[in-house]
């Protein structure tokens, strides 16, 4: 009787070998699963806090028939990146607008507890990235596939895992992409609130008639509708360069204000009430979570084995990111204390011309970043809808979807214009799921049979703890954020 083959995620973009090996007992009676298209959408290096967990489509070559399959030797990358280039891209993908919210995160934790907890949460996020990439490498070797995106890894892990998980493989792929879309659209909503709040502060100094933040959100949304109709990213590249320059200059000047006339640390609380910790958790996860960029960067490396391990590109990059975020959070809260706002730029003096220019520079940078951040979720959604629409109606349908999503983001931002709990909500809901719960679940599925959970099932206990931590963060962060929104609407905030 011929050997049953384990269901496998296969990309038509690669000439990868057919899956082989002895891990067939988990798939007895299971149908063969072949995906004709593995790549999701192109990855974009947006200047936000998160980036898409998808890969670029590569030209694949043939694979050899030897048993010691090395996926790295079969990757056909047109322009592979060096370790230094990957390090720079990792910093660019992780250092975004979230750094401006770190002082607010410390205000919900306390000066000293925030210092320790930020390092702890950052280390945990980095470890989960290690888990995801390591599982991707195992699956690539086991299934003989050169490279995978995040959703591909999740789907193949469930196909390789216990038989009970096989039927959920399509669902986990859908869930990963759904949370990715929610995360990126949520970031777009946050960007709208951020831009409108900073512009409102500056304009209110010069105009007697003060417009509310909600009105400014609607004003900002109008030009974005037209900018987001641009489907070719090549035309958005200049805006990305301008955004990067403005963001860098704005943050440097913000640092100058922040380190001027610092009070003594004893004047700030070292620890705050436990009820405020979920807001800290959600904000830090939103700011620090770099899992969105890792799969695309690892797939593009000339030496992918240098991405994880010790030392590694990931460890150096995330170590620097964690240090910078902790620095801004600690000294920002030390500087402004209980007056710390959702973005450190909102604390800059209104009457100061230089401070006003900083607010506008960063607002413009975030405004341009919106279009790049918006590109990825629209690509994922349109890819799922395109085949259901007649060819002659596809253009008008795609433009309609783009307009509808921008208007939706604007509507959500108008309804929820409080930047602080909005950031915490997105971090708690989306990034605790993508950054902790899903990688831990993937490892449990990948290690189910070979090599197993280890002595005393330590991998099972470890991943169960990660999942529990992510679920607690998800539930508590969501609950507290909703309470904050409710207090605002009821006038009690």
- Predicted confidence at residue 186, as pLDDT, reads 86
Residue 271 backbone class (left: φ over 0; alpha: ψ -120 to 50; beta: rest): beta
Helices vs strands, H then E, count in the chain? 17, 0
Tell whether the model's pLDDT for residue 170 goes beyond 90. yes
- Predicted confidence at residue 67, as pLDDT, reads 52
Least confident of 11-25, 247-261, 284-298, 441-455: 11-25
- Report whether 105 contacts 287 (CB < 8 A): yes
Mean pLDDT confidence for 213-234: 90
Q: Which residue has the higher pLDDT, 7 or 134?
A: 134
Give the whole-angstrom CA distance, residue 432 versus residue 314: 19
Per-residue three-class SS string for 41-68: CCCCCCCCCCCCCCCCCCCCCECCCCCC
- Give residue-wise pLDDT tens across range 49-100: 333 333 333 333 333 334 578 888 888 877 788 888 888 878 776 766 788 8
Tell whether the model's pLDDT for residue 29 goes beyond 60. no
- Predicted confidence at residue 290, as pLDDT, reads 61
Tell whether the model's pLDDT for residue 15 goes beyond 50. no
Give the whole-angstrom CA distance, residue 374 versus residue 185: 7
CA-wise closest residue to 346 among 317, 315, 335 = 335
- Give residue-wise pLDDT tens across range 377-407: 888 888 888 888 988 898 999 999 999 999 9
- Predicted confidence at residue 85, as pLDDT, reads 84
- Give residue-wise pLDDT tens across range 428-487: 888 889 889 999 999 999 998 877 888 888 999 999 999 999 999 899 888 888 888 887
Alpha helices in 416-457 (DSSP H): 419-426, 432, 438-446
- Give residue-wise pLDDT tens across range 113-129: 999 999 999 999 889 98
Give the whole-angstrom CA distance, residue 306 versus residue 308: 6
- Give residue-wise pLDDT tens across range 140-169: 988 888 888 888 999 999 999 889 999 999
Residue 304 backbone class (left: φ over 0; alpha: ψ -120 to 50; beta: rest): alpha
- Predicted confidence at residue 66, as pLDDT, reads 42
Least confident of 163-172, 233-242, 299-308, 420-429: 233-242
Handedness of CA 446, 305, 284, 371 (dihedral sign): negative
- Predicted confidence at residue 491, as pLDDT, reads 62
- Predicted confidence at residue 291, as pLDDT, reads 63
- Give residue-wise pLDDT tens across range 259-272: 988 999 999 999 99
- Report whether 17 contacts 4 (CB < 8 A): no
- Report whether 193 contacts 183 (CB < 8 A): no
- Give residue-wise pLDDT tens across range 400-434: 999 999 999 999 999 888 877 888 888 888 888 98
Mean pLDDT confidence for 14-37: 40
- Report whether 249 contacts 361 (CB < 8 A): yes
* Radius of gyration of the chain from its Cα atoms, rounded to whole angstroms: 23
- Report whether 132 contacts 358 (CB < 8 A): no
Handedness of CA 453, 457, 458, 462 (dihedral sign): positive
For the chain, helix, strand, coil in percent to 5 are 70, 0, 30
Confidence band for 238, pLDDT divided at 50, 70 and 90: confident
Least confident of 31-35, 119-123, 156-160, 299-303: 31-35
Give the whole-angstrom CA distance, residue 196 versus residue 425: 19
- Predicted confidence at residue 358, as pLDDT, reads 93
Question: What angle do the packed helices 111-143 and 438-446 form, to 10 degrees?
Answer: 40
Tell whether the model's pLDDT for residue 179 goes beyond 80. yes
- Report whether 413 contacts 196 (CB < 8 A): yes
CA-wise closest residue to 93 among 128, 43, 154, 42 = 43
- Predicted confidence at residue 173, as pLDDT, reads 92
Terminal Cα-to-Cα distance of the chain (whole angstroms)? 70
**Residues near 432 by beta carbon (within 8 Å), at least 6 away in sequence:** 281, 282, 285, 470, 471, 473, 474, 477
Q: Where are the domains of the chain?
A: 76-490
- Give residue-wise pLDDT tens across range 333-388: 999 999 999 889 999 998 899 999 999 999 998 898 888 788 878 888 888 888 88
179-209 burial string, b = 16+ CB within 10 Å, else e?
bbbbbbbbbbbbbbbbbbbbbbbbeeeeeee
Tell whether the model's pLDDT for residue 207 goes beyond 90. no
Q: Indicate yes or no: pTM above 0.85.
A: no
The CATH number of the domain covering residues in 76-490: 1.10.4160
Give the whole-angstrom CA distance, residue 220 versus residue 265: 39
Confidence band for 329, pLDDT divided at 50, 70 and 90: very high
């Amino acid at each position: 009787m011929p050997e049953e083959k384990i269901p496998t995620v296969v990309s038509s973009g690669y000439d990868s070998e057919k899956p082989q090996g002895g891990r067939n007992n988990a798939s007895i009676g299971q149908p063969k699963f072949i995906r004709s298209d593995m790549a999701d959408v192109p990855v974009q290096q947006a200047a936000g806090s998160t980036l898409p967990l998808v890969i670029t489509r590569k030209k694949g070559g043939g694979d050899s028939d030897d048993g010691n399959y090395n996926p790295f030797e079969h990757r056909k990358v047109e322009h592979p990146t060096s370790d230094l280039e990957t390090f720079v891209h990792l910093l660019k993908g992780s250092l975004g607008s979230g750094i401006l919210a770190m002082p607010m995160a410390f205000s919900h934790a306390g000066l000293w507890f925030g210092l320790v907890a930020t390092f702890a949460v950052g280390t945990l996020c980095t470890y989960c990235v290690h888990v995801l990439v390591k599982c991707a490498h195992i699956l690539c070797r086991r299934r003989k596939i050169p490279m995978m995106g995040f959703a591909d890894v999740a789907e193949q892990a469930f196909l390789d895992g216990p038989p009970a998980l096989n039927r959920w493989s399509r669902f986990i792929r859908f869930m990963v992409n759904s949370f990715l879309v929610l995360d990126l659209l949520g970031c777009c909503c946050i960007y709208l609130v951020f831009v409108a709040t900073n512009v409102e502060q500056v304009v209110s100094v010069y105009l007697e008639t003060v417009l509310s933040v909600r009105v400014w959100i609607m004003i900002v949304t109008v030009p974005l509708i037209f900018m987001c109709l641009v489907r070719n990213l090549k035309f958005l590249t200049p805006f990305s360069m301008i955004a990067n320059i403005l963001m860098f200059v704005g943050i440097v000047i913000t640092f100058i204000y922040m380190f001027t006339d610092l009070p003594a640390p004893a004047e700030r609380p070292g620890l705050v009430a436990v009820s405020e910790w979920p807001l800290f958790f959600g904000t830090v996860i939103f700011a620090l979570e770099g899992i969105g960029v890792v799969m695309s960067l690892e797939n593009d490396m000339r030496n992918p084995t240098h991405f994880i391990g010790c030392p590694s590109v990931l460890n150096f990059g995330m170590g620097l990111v964690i240090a910078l975020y902790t620095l801004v959070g600690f000294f920002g809260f030390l500087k402004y204390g209980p007056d710390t706002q959702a973005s450190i730029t909102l604390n800059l003096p209104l009457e100061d011309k230089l401070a006003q220019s900083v607010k506008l520079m960063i607002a413009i940078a975030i405004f341009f970043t919106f279009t790049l951040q918006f590109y990825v979720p629209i690509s994922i959604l349109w890819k799922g809808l395109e085949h259901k629409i007649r060819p002659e109606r596809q253009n008008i349908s795609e433009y309609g979807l783009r307009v509808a999503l921008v208007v939706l983001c604007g509507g959500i931002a108008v309804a929820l214009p409080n930047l602080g709990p909005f950031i915490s909500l997105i971090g708690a809901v989306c990034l605790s799921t993508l950054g902790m719960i899903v990688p831990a679940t993937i490892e449990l599925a990948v290690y189910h049979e070979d090599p197993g959970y280890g002595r005393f099932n330590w991998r099972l206990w470890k991943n169960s703890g990660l999942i529990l931590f992510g679920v607690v963060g998800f539930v508590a962060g969501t609950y507290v954020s909703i309470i904050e929104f409710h207090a605002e609407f009821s006038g009690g905030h």
